[in-house]
Chain A
């Protein structure tokens, strides 16, 4: 009788154990994160675009999702090395940004990145270089004559 009762009790507990296996725990904490912000040429954020964070060892993506409303990808690296943040718009817009985490920067969340060149500077440089190249072509052709 005692054995039978024990067996019935065990059978009743089994589903409870299954329910525990489906439980999701959570823990709220603070961590220093890496933030990579993506913008269009005109300065507007590259928002809601598919992105992924690839770990240094080249394994499967550490994190996938979309950029937030401000065009940011935010992740908390768990090891040092050369991480890759890839933002891939369906229309071919996007970028692949390497993020180097070393023992000194891991956990600080601050990574020195060079400021992006302004559009005015790019425009002037580009037009200047193009006109210079064509000027050289023109001079070469005149000299040949």
Chain B
């Protein structure tokens, strides 16, 4: 689901960098005020686990591969802002050091997966509670909602950036192609992310004082 360089038009990634920059600044200010030092090791472990799990590719029929996102897992444990910042750090690392996901696509990836996925996961959790079903669906929505956003952004590219002869300059496929191609595989991947959210809550959730 990570969008590489060369697929997103400047008309899209420019404003996306602006929006993400503002949200990163707001998130960091909130984090400085509210981050519990005792939670940092758990946040580090969850973020590193999300990063590692993103590198495990699951082959799908047709030759493509998918991977779990870990978005729901981090979001149910730490909330929207901490998850957004922690996952943005992962995407930053992947884009600048490891060549997974593009530098120009970084804000789109961060907004779609880090923020959109975290909002969806926490929203599901608030609606359904922290039982198994709520946690599972939080993980599932944390993967499927970003897939819908990424498919929408990719399908937008042929409309916003074309050569004089009408040829798309960046990503060439419209929504009729991107929505099924991106979203349908992630309906299945969401199941793995749902199970992951349930397991992560059992292992990493803050323990109640006896």
Stretch at the interface among A4-12, A18-26, A36-44, A72-80: A36-44
Cβ-defined contact, B55 with A122, below 8 A: yes
Cβ-defined contact, A89 with B51, below 8 A: no
Cβ-defined contact, A91 with B185, below 8 A: yes
Cβ-defined contact, B40 with A137, below 8 A: yes
Cβ-defined contact, A42 with B59, below 8 A: yes
Looking at A91, A95, A119, A129, the one whose CB has the most chain B CB atoms below 10 A away is A91
Number of interface residues of B (CB under 8 A): 43
Cβ-defined contact, A127 with B65, below 8 A: no
A131 in the interface (beta carbon within 8 A): yes
Distance (whole angstroms) from the CB of A81 to the closest CB of chain B: 18
- A67 to B55: give the CA distance in the assembly, Å: 23
Cβ-defined contact, B150 with A138, below 8 A: no
Band of interface residues on A: 35 or more
Distance (whole angstroms) from the CB of B181 to the closest CB of chain A: 4
Cβ-defined contact, A42 with B93, below 8 A: no
Distance (whole angstroms) from the CB of B149 to the closest CB of chain A: 11
- B residues near A, CB below 8 A? 1, 3-7, 35, 37, 40-41, 43-44, 47-48, 51-52, 55, 57, 59, 63-65, 89-90, 93-94, 97-100, 150-151, 154, 165, 167, 171-173, 177-178, 181-182, 185
Cβ-defined contact, B37 with A145, below 8 A: yes
Cβ-defined contact, A125 with B6, below 8 A: no
Contact of A138 among B41, B48, B93, B171 (CB under 8 A): B41
Cβ-defined contact, A129 with B93, below 8 A: yes
A127: B residues at CB distance < 8 A:
48, 51-52
A94 in the interface (beta carbon within 8 A): yes
B57: A residues at CB distance < 8 A:
40-42
- A97 to B200: give the CA distance in the assembly, Å: 38
Cβ-defined contact, B41 with A95, below 8 A: no
Cβ-defined contact, A92 with B48, below 8 A: no
A91: B residues at CB distance < 8 A:
64, 178, 181-182, 185
B90: A residues at CB distance < 8 A:
126, 130
A17 in the interface (beta carbon within 8 A): no
Cβ-defined contact, A88 with B7, below 8 A: yes
* Residue in A closest to B31 when the chains form the complex, CB atoms: A137
- A135 to B47: give the CA distance in the assembly, Å: 13
Distance (whole angstroms) from the CB of B50 to the closest CB of chain A: 9
Known contacts A126-B93, A134-B41, A134-B43; A88 and B55 CB within 8 A of each other: no
- A145 to B35: give the CA distance in the assembly, Å: 12
Distance (whole angstroms) from the CB of A88 to the closest CB of chain B: 6
